[in-house]
Amino acid sequence: MIPIFFTVGNNRPVKVIPNTQAQVDGHQVLTYTYNIYADLGFDKDEEYRQESELLLETKTDPNYLGYITFEDPGKLFTYTADGRDELTSQEVEEVIENISHYRDHSGLWSVEGID
């Protein structure tokens, strides 16, 4: 799945990588959990490492900021800050707004972040 990049808060660049599940027909389906990383610039090795850690319990990436779960899209969200750093409540709201925009316009996932 292609990550999305945007800026929150006071000019903090972030990268959001949605968890996906492969379905029987081979298509990927977005889940309700999104991993958030500080975006410190393009590094292909870092991106592969982050994607390989998606399903692990403990993330080791120093840029990991936690994850957001859409419990009831549009109504209930949970932010879990289990990285070395965390987002402020304002940044969490901005991340939710951005993710919601991409969820509502799923065609954007394939456009953003293309090399």
Q: What pLDDT score does 112 carry?
A: 44
The whole model's pTM is what? 0.75
Q: What pLDDT score does 95 carry?
A: 96
CA distance to 1, 27, 30, 33, per residue, from 22 (Å): 11, 6, 9, 15
Angle, CA of 97, 56 and 27, to the nearest 5°: 65
Q: What pLDDT score does 12 carry?
A: 94
pLDDT at position 34 over 60: yes
Q: What is the DSSP letter of 15?
A: E
Name the residue with higher pLDDT: 22 or 31: 31
User: Considering all CA atoms of the chain, what is the largest pairwise distance in Å, rounded to the nearest integer?
Assistant: 42
Q: What pLDDT score does 54 carry?
A: 64
Write out pLDDT tens, residues 43-99: 677 776 776 666 666 777 888 899 998 877 678 899 999 888 999 999 999 999 999
